[in-house]
Amino acid sequence: MAQDKQNDGPRQQFGDLAPALAGYSEDVLFGQVWENPDLSPRERSLVTVASLITGGSTEQLAFHLGRARENGVSDKELIETITHLAFYAGWPKAMSALTVARTVLTGS
């Protein structure tokens, strides 16, 4: 799993508090699920971003928007995904996602 100073891995963030969940996150989710070749990393990123938006999980969205970009999803595609989901997940969730996307995609 790619890590940087802002987004240390789950073990660094939560290992002291919830070592099992942190381990499952790194070993199973990012180590096995994300590496399964049945979906490409790009496809997994789009599915994950859509899921986070529909669930209103904006706290995790910033990391996954950045990861989606690393996996080849364009900024235009991410914005179109948010726009599309406004009609299926709800306007407030899409607008909240846009707030996060503005920060991630433009740095402001």
Per-residue model confidence (pLDDT) at position 108 = 77
pTM recorded for the entire structure: 0.85
Count the neighbouring beta carbons within 10 Å of the beta carbon of residue 43: 13
Per-residue model confidence (pLDDT) at position 4 = 43
- Cβ neighbors of 31 (< 8 A, separation 6 or more) are 1
Per-residue model confidence (pLDDT) at position 7 = 55
Q: Classify domain 40-108 at the CATH topology level.
A: AhpD-like (1.20.1290)
Sign, Cα dihedral of 42, 43, 48, 53: positive
Domain extent listing, the chain: 10-39, 40-108
Provide the residue-wise pLDDT of the chain in tens; the chain has 108 residues: 444 434 578 888 888 999 899 999 999 999 899 999 999 999 999 999 999 999 999 999 999 999 999 999 999 999 999 999 999 999 999 999 999 999 999 987
